[in-house]
Structure 1
Amino acid sequence: MLSAIVSAISLFLVGVTLLPLIKSGRWWIRIWDFPRQQLSLLLALALAAQLVLWPDEPLGMALALATALCLLWHLRCIFPYTRLRRTQVKAAGRGSPPDQRIRLLISNVYQDNKHAHGLFRTIASFDPDVLLVVEADEWWNRRLSAYRHRYPHHVLHPLSNTYGMLLFSRLEIIEAEVLERVTQDIPSIRALIRLRSGKIIELHCMHPEPPQVGADVDERNAELLMVAKETVQSQYPVIVCGDMNDVAWSHTTKMFQRLSGLLDPRIGRGLFSTFDARRWYARWPLDHVFHDKRFLLNQLQLGSYIGSDHFPIFVELVYQPDAQELQEEPERADASDQREAAKTIREGKNAAREAEREPADEVVAVVSQPG
């Protein structure tokens, strides 16, 4: 009986490890991109049980080999987000000029969360220059209205569908757009922000849909890759941030990095798992900050629990024009990536059209003089 249970569990774990290798946007495939730490632990336990139960049986050893290979695959995916790997983004150092810094706090507040004081404490603790709040409805917009005098530049787009966005900045926002690139009522924000030094940077804020029952990820993937292609064409240093509803090690996020050439400050520093804040056993990194090679890192830190299913994440970056000479050269997209990205974007737009969710206009609002 025990052998049958171990065999069934092991085969299931091997199956869900192999399933994400299929390049499909189906939700029941893509959800297995997420729990690599959890699957690693379960595979390790299954392998130990197999070696005890079937130390010499050929079929048992074959299953043990498959289990071990799957475990190694998961560990390979996770390894870059451990301290055993060298950092992709270099530290800025103590002498970095304060007027070239940007302090950014990203928080998915969970729309039904009515405990705003948790976020207020986090804002007071980190004192960000720029605050991005996602899953913000009109209730959250009213609660955060008190911050408008401290953050005189803002882009406010509250929605009741869990995809509202509020962007507050004490740095000058020169211009901003609220965009619906792929799906109606799933907005993102593109803003030009002036640092205290006068340098202009481009900020993209995102919150596409996650894979869930009845919701595939074609539209999410299309939006991520569209932003990646846009960043390459920007004349400004770029930061892309938000709850991207995809894990750092997924095929799509990796392609996002290759297409954009942006760096991930978590690499070599840790997972910084922001979701699920309520369940210690089911956490993975969903909230991301990617940035241009001309930024160095001062701080990267998770916030404390605020009543949401996400932890806030805080990053302090320093713009340094010659930093790109110090940074690791990221892997760049090849012709195959470009073809796959074009196909993914096309499929995402087609999926939105077929579901009658295609936006009427990509630009929902233009904020030329925020505040």
Structure 2
Amino acid sequence: MFETVISLLTFIMLCVTLAPLLSSNHWLSRVWEFPRVQIAVLTISLTIVSFFLASPIITALLVTINGLMSLYQIIWILPYTRLYPVQVKKAVTPYQQTIKIMTSNVLMTNHSADKLINLIKIHQPDLVVTLETDLWWEEALQSIHVDYPHRVNCALDNLYGMHLYSKFALQDVQVSFLVEADIPSIHCYLILKNAHKIKCHFLHPAPPSPTENTTSTPRDRELLIIAKTVRDKTEPTIVTGDLNDVAWSPTTRSFRKTSGLKDPRIGRGMFNTFHASYPILRWPLDHIFHSEHFQLATIQRMPSIDSDHFPLLSELVYINK
């Protein structure tokens, strides 16, 4: 009976490990790119348990299968651990020009605006990007307007509203619907105090899921559009937002490769921002990528604001290459 249970669990883990390798973009296939850490923990556990089975043949088979699955998953997630070399250098103090960005998917039905406002007052980011913000949130955040005179409002009640609050002047602002008619993104230049211009893209594509898009195609297309837009540019660039994709997925890897942008989390940690309510089911959905014009001062996950996402706070140092 014990061998049967371990064999069945191994078969299930093999199915979910192989599912993302299928050519299909259906959510049933792509969703298994998300819990690679959890799958790795389970397959490592199964590898250990398999050593204690009675049958030498079954033991050898299950240890081999689970061991290979564990190794495969670890290869994907290893760059987002401290065991991997950092991709973005740590800036040396004293910092020159910095850009501090707080990205927060607020969860539209969550009305704990005071918790987000408190975080903003404590950390004083230069940019605040809010996602899933509707008219209620737009009004609730009016108290921060005095510190953020430059704003872009795109209030929607479909879970894809987006607002940008900036201490820096904004130029060439565009609210675009790149792939889907009801999924916005914000694109603009930040004008720094030294008059340097930083190109910024703020994104929140829809995820592959049974309740939204049944395939990952719209999300993947939006990320590819942005990647191709920035790849031939030499200007300082930042891309951030809730991409509804994990840092280690093939899509995000392709985005980094095509765009040439860097990920400051590589070699530093996962900074899992979702799901705030389930500690054993968390992965990095909120991202920040940037061009070689920046080094990293800090990156940290913020405390809960009663959303299903934790806010992400990143401070980049502009090195003016």
Mapping of residues 161-200 of structure 1, within 5 Å = 161-200=158-197
Q: Which amino acid aligns with 1:252?
A: T
2:95 matched to which residue of 1? 96
1:332 matched to which residue of 2? none
* SS across alignment from 1:52: coil
Aligned length: 319
Q: Are the counterparts in 2 of residues 264 and 289 from structure 1 also a CA contact under 8 Å?
A: yes
2:115 matched to which residue of 1? 118
Mapping of residues 286-297 of structure 1, within 5 Å = 286-297=285-296
* SS across alignment from 2:310: coil
1:63 matched to which residue of 2? 62
1:299 matched to which residue of 2? 298
Q: CA separation in 1, counterparts of 2:175 and 2:272?
A: 27
* SS across alignment from 2:231: helix
Q: Superposition RMSD on alpha carbons, in Å?
A: 1.1
Deviations 1:19-53 (A, max 9, x none): 11123210001100000111111111111221111
Mapping of residues 74-153 of structure 1, within 5 Å = 74-97=73-96, 100-153=97-150
Mapping of residues 313-332 of structure 1, within 5 Å = 313-322=312-321
Q: CA separation in 1, counterparts of 2:120 and 2:55?
A: 55
Q: CA separation in 2, counterparts of 1:54 and 1:138?
A: 63
2:206 matched to which residue of 1? 209
Q: Are the counterparts in 1 of residues 117 and 144 from structure 2 also a CA contact under 8 Å?
A: no
Q: CA separation in 1, counterparts of 2:31 and 2:266?
A: 22
* SS across alignment from 1:141: helix
Q: Which amino acid aligns with 2:152?
A: V
Q: CA separation in 1, counterparts of 2:13 and 2:271?
A: 25
* SS across alignment from 1:321: coil
> CA shift at 1:235, angstroms?
4.8
> CA shift at 1:175, angstroms?
2.2
Q: CA separation in 2, counterparts of 1:24 and 1:313?
A: 31
Q: Which amino acid aligns with 2:122?
A: S
Q: CA separation in 1, counterparts of 2:116 and 2:152?
A: 18
* SS across alignment from 2:227: helix
> CA shift at 1:170, angstroms?
0.6
Q: CA separation in 2, counterparts of 1:105 and 1:209?
A: 20
Q: CA separation in 2, counterparts of 1:24 and 1:302?
A: 33
* SS across alignment from 2:52: helix
Deviations 1:81-129 (A, max 9, x none): 11111110001110221xx211100000000101111111211222100
Structure 1 regions of 5+ residues with no counterpart? 323-371
Deviations 1:9-28 (A, max 9, x none): 11100110111112321000
CA shift in 2, pair 1:69/1:54, >3 Å: farther
Q: Which amino acid aligns with 1:2?
A: F
Q: Which amino acid aligns with 2:160?
A: Y
> CA shift at 1:271, angstroms?
0.4
1:309 matched to which residue of 2? 308
Q: Are the counterparts in 1 of residues 243 and 285 from structure 2 also a CA contact under 8 Å?
A: yes
Mapping of residues 144-293 of structure 1, within 5 Å = 144-213=141-210, 215=213, 216-293=215-292
Q: CA separation in 2, counterparts of 1:73 and 1:62?
A: 17
Q: Which amino acid aligns with 1:320?
A: I
Q: Which amino acid aligns with 1:263?
A: K
Q: Are the counterparts in 2 of residues 54 and 61 from structure 1 also a CA contact under 8 Å?
A: no
Q: CA separation in 2, counterparts of 1:85 and 1:302?
A: 20
Deviations 1:234-276 (A, max 9, x none): 3521100000000011001000000000000000100000000
Q: CA separation in 2, counterparts of 1:187 and 1:204?
A: 11
Q: Which amino acid aligns with 2:159?
A: T
> CA shift at 1:67, angstroms?
1.0
Large movers: runs of 4+ above 4 Å = none
* SS across alignment from 1:25: coil
Q: CA separation in 2, counterparts of 1:201 and 1:124?
A: 24
Provide TM-score, normalisation by structure 1: 0.84
Q: CA separation in 2, counterparts of 1:95 and 1:162?
A: 40
Q: Which amino acid aligns with 1:119?
A: L
